A and B are shown apart, each in its own frame.
Chain A
Amino acid sequence: MNRADYMTALRRALSVLPEEERANALRYYEEYFDDAGPENEAKAIEELGEPAKVAAQILADYRELTAVPHAQPIKEKRRWRGISPLLLIVLVLLAIPIGLPLVFGAGATVLGVLLAIVVTVLAVIFAVLLILYGIPLALICGGAVIALLSCTLWATPANALVTLGNGLAAFAAGILLGLLSIKLSILFVPPVFRAFVAVLRAPFNWIRNRCRRTGGGNV
């Protein structure tokens, strides 16, 4: 083996090293041969030993030097879901000077609107109730009164009988309608009531869903 062969073998054996490392190592041995001089080439090769062995030592040493210490696992910082409370407090504090008057004005408007809505709804409910129960009630009461008043007409028995009949008929109709109203109420009031409650709850659910959506999906 001559120097050129030796260096070729060494270069190949060190090919796994990064570019700079390999270049430094090869330079050392090129210089070694240079300093030994061509007359000492064979002796130098003998002194150095097999290129495979030399490369093995260099690689082992490199691996030892570049061993990465066990990396500290990065503690997963606990993500805060939703708005940070601190941020919320700061925002509220900042918002107070501007926000408060605004809130009052806006609040008054909102309250007014809400009030109007509530009153309207109540009026509607009242009207419905009136229709449902008022009419039967009226019929019942009216019918009973008419039937009783027919006694005053005893002078004209035909009239009295007709009036009594009308009164009793009205009375009966009232009772029937009343029963019908009660039946309808049983059927319709619970769902209507639930719908009413759901309408009231809707704004709060909307807010909660928005927070869940923006806070739940962590950036």
Chain B
Amino acid sequence: MSEFSFLTNGVQFMAQNPKMLVMWGIGALLIWLAIGKDFEPALLLPMGFGAILVNLPLPGVVGDAGIVKWLFEKGIVASEAFPLLLFVGIGAMIDFGPLLSNPRMLLFGGAAQFGIFLTVVLAVLLGFPLKDAMAAGVIGAADGPTSILVSQVLHSNYIGAIAVAAYSYMALVPIIQPAAIRLVTTKHERMIHMPYNPKAVSKTTKILFPIIVTLIAGLVAPDSVALVGFLMFGNLIRESGKLEGLSQTAQGPLANLITIFLGITIAYQMRAEQFLTLGTLMIMALGLFAFVFDTIGGVVFAKILNLFLPKDKKINPMVGGAGISAFPMSARVIQKMALKEDNQNHLLMHAVGANVAGQVGSVVAGGIILNLARIWGMI
């Protein structure tokens, strides 16, 4: 019988590594959340399956010639290609029209990044090294690709946990945001009406916008230029009006292909010995904190602006909460909340403007963090 022991080696290996079995459970949980609860299924399902795949007896897919290891090294470590290519697809999906016709919404895209920086302070006070604290803060941007890219460039030890947190909380926007917004607003504030009188936006403006934003990002925050540049490249393809085929490819097949491999590649960082730590739990908690305070940052900023605005120009503070990057979920949540308070209060287009501003804000925040990390000699 001993000749057949090679068939039981794997079982013996697993019995000696019970942490890997726990990771199977976590993988199954992510798959259940994706399929059973419809939580960001495009990312959580590949990550869940990947979590099981990378926690099988070695060498499997994570050995020296393992496919998941290769994907991680080439697609994430060497070039951050996967998150950046995904940005081309995201850029092609975004219509910046509501923002271009109402550019003051950009301010909320800035204010709603406050949670990122507050989380960095908290994480440092909890004893995380600064690089991990900075990477954890970016979860608050509600922008999965940016979170992955920043944590990778900073060589954080928690890339897997950060990716899981970023995508899980994005899926929980309809639960987290209403609770956070109610915490800092009154019913009266939530009922403020905002008339929507969009100005016409020229095609020239729509074409020049992605080019000029890339130039500004490149000059002011050079480390954000890969993120901003690829986002805006996708948007330029969309707005050019001449590349409908490429635009559709970027929005569909390209984004889908990258999404399939991004999830399973990130799972490389979900190996039991790396993932099952107190640090992972803390990162998940910090991510939630960042998410909540990003929302609160946008809402409070709107309330501060209201102190200086005439009565008929007041901003519904909930719109500020849409300044995060979870697009278009956040805008929909704000619209739903507004209608719940007053069924004649339509805030959708304002919230969409703030929401696309949040896309720009989150990549700029990621770039500024990387800029400062470079100045401080961390990368």
Tell me, yes or no, whether A binds B: no
